[in-house]
Amino acid sequence: MNRACARPACGHAAAATFVYDYQARTTWLDPLARERHPMAYDLCVAHADALTVPQGWRLVDRRGGAGLGGALAS
C-alpha cells in the first residue's frame, strides 16, 4: 500500500480516503482504504484535515482520531 495524495502537486503519502454522494450531499472521510476505489479519493493528513465541502453538504469525519483503534475496549 503506497499511494499518494490525490491533490495536484502534493505528493505526500495518502493517509485518508474520502467518498461522496451527490444525492445525499454528503462527504465521508475515512481512514485510508485498503484498496483503491474508482469513486474514492486519497488524501494526505494535511489535505484531509483541510477538506471542505460545498455549501449545504455534510462532511462526516469517520477517521476517529489518531491511534484510536481499540481504545474503546478498555
- Residue ranges in contact with Zn ion by CB under 5 A: 5, 7, 10, 12, 44, 47
Query: Could you tell me where the beta strands, DSSP code E, fall in the chain?
Result: 16-21, 26-31, 40-43, 58-61
Q: What's the CA gap between 16 and 35, in Å, rounded? A: 12
Q: What's the CA gap between 15 and 71, in Å, rounded? A: 20
Quote the least distance from Cβ 63 to Zn ion, whole Å. 15
Q: Is 72 helix (H, G, I), strand (E, B) or coil?
A: helix
Q: Residue number with the shortest CB distance to Zn ion?
A: 5
Quote the least distance from Cβ 15 to Zn ion, whole Å. 9
By beta-carbon proximity to Zn ion, the closer residue of 11 and 38 is 11
Quote the least distance from Cβ 17 to Zn ion, whole Å. 12
By beta-carbon proximity to Zn ion, the closer residue of 8 and 54 is 8
